[in-house]
Structure 1
Amino acid sequence: MRIMEIALLMLALTACTGEPPSSDAITGGNPRRGLEAIQRYGCGACHRIDGAPGAYGTVGPTLQRIGERAYIAGKLPNSPGNLQQWIRFPQRIVPGNAMPDLDVSEIDARDIAAYLYHQ
């Protein structure tokens, strides 16, 4: 999905429920499990992630308010699917970048994306 598609989806879901959609509705993941996965994979060693204990890394970019960004990794339009692909396969998307492939499962990537969009 592109930013416009996400905006339209959010607008449609808001119209149906009267409230903005939750991050788990947008991503198909669970923010609570996402926080656990962030800690398990050690994401905070490189990234600052609000609400994640010990996640004060400065090697990678801060992941605060990632849902408001236009691009992921300066290359991918920001969408739940693209964020999940980046989390799983950063070296396929931008070979040689500093983020290692950590063998993140599809489910964990959905949950991590849900947490990051939830912030």
Structure 2
Amino acid sequence: MSILRTMGIAVALAGLAACSVERPPGGVQGDPVRGKIALTQYACQSCHLIPGVPGSKVYVGRPLSDMGRRKVLAGAVPNDQAGLMRWIRDPQSVDPNTAMPNMGVTERDARDMSAYLLSH
């Protein structure tokens, strides 16, 4: 096996390991890999610490680790995929006084983002 081929295989395997995303719980729809990308595209890491998403160590918004273990969001909404999607898409409908802005997140992006967050 040539050195270039060996290096290529090593790089490909490293890339797959870096991209690994846990599976979301049963009943959760969406693509968590795409959700991780969407979280960065909407710059969620500029206010939140998000597992697996690089960003600065900020403490503006609550860290988004252990989302799958939380019972409620914003003290009022059940922490299921529908509730999380509602919060992501229109946080002011849940808490009119929240500092979280409405980022114009599409339904598909919210589904994928919630699939990623609920898998961590």
Q: Are 2:74 and 2:94, in contact at CA under 8 Å, matched by a contact in 1?
A: no
* TM-score normalised by structure 2 residue count: 0.76
Map of 1:72 onto structure 2: 73
Q: Are 1:49 and 1:55, in contact at CA under 8 Å, matched by a contact in 2?
A: no
Q: Are 1:24 and 1:31, in contact at CA under 8 Å, matched by a contact in 2?
A: no
Alpha-carbon distance change, 104 to 39 in structure 1, aligned in 2, over 3 angstroms: same
Alpha-carbon distance change, 29 to 56 in structure 1, aligned in 2, over 3 angstroms: farther
Secondary structure in structure 2 of the residue aligned to 1:23: coil
Q: Are 2:71 and 2:79, in contact at CA under 8 Å, matched by a contact in 1?
A: yes
| Backbone CA RMSD of aligned residues | 1.4
Q: Are 2:39 and 2:45, in contact at CA under 8 Å, matched by a contact in 1?
A: yes
Equivalences, count:
98
**Structure 1 residue 106: Cα displacement:** 0.2
- For the pair shown, the structure with the greater C-alpha radius of gyration is 2
Q: Are 1:34 and 1:114, in contact at CA under 8 Å, matched by a contact in 2?
A: yes
Distance in 2 of aligned mates of 1:107 and 1:55: 26
* TM-score normalised by structure 1 residue count: 0.77
Distance in 2 of aligned mates of 1:55 and 1:25: 32
Identity of aligned residues (%): 42
Consecutive unaligned residues of structure 1, counting only runs of 5 or more, are 1-21
Consecutive unaligned residues of structure 2, counting only runs of 5 or more, are 1-22
Distance in 1 of aligned mates of 2:57 and 2:35: 17
**Structure 1 residue 114: Cα displacement:** 0.6
